Amino acid sequence: MSDKKVYLPLTDIENVLPILNKISIFGGLSDKQLDSVFKMLKVVSYDKDETIFRQGEPSSHIYIIKSGRVRLCMETGNAKLALIEFGVGDCFGESSLIGIQPHTATAIATENTELIVLSGKALSSLYILDKDSYIMIILNVAREICRRLTQADNTLLHYVLEEK
């Protein structure tokens, strides 16, 4: 799994800047702050059908898709329920990392995939090095989690109203 993978420094920041600038968790950071955060990012590759992390495993990274696609699935007994599929520029894993919770789903690369990652250790070091950047990222993650929770609430409400 992810602990056996090789995490390489992100060396082509200029090429992925358009992707990184659209990531909501980096919103509101100055160019100087972004530069500091981007230096903490790593890159890791996964082959098609390779598992990135499993449901119930401890969280270690925030993931941003540089290329490829990732499907999140929940495992219940012998069944896998596909929840969502992420593409280039999408971010996942942040709620588990910030919430200090095990992953609630399994992430699988649905094609050869390259991920940009921010480790929990790097995020913790950001707290020491630049509290303003850390606070902004945590606030942005909280906003993203609230957006997703609202979407989930609306989806549940739709199904409840459909049954009546």
What tens digit of pLDDT does each residue of 54-102 get?
A: 999 999 999 999 999 999 999 887 887 878 899 998 999 988 888 888 9
Rounded Cα gap, residues 1 and 163, in angstroms: 40
Residue 139 maps to which CATH number? 2.60.120.10
Rounded Cα gap, residues 7 and 40, in angstroms: 11
Report the half-sphere exposure of 160 (CA within 13 A, side-chain side): 6
**How much of the chain, in percent, has pLDDT values that exceed 90?**
52
What confidence score (pLDDT) does residue 164 get?
67
Residues in Cβ contact with 123 at an 8 Å cutoff, skipping those fewer than 6 apart? 40, 62, 97, 134, 137
Q: How many domains does the chain have?
A: 1
Range of the domain at 18: 2-163
State the DSSP string of 43-111.
EEEE-TT-EEE-TTSPP-EEEEEEES-EEEEEEETTEEEEEEEE-TT-EESHHHHHHT---SSEEEESS
Orientation of helix 31-38 relative to helix 131-163, angle to 10° = 80
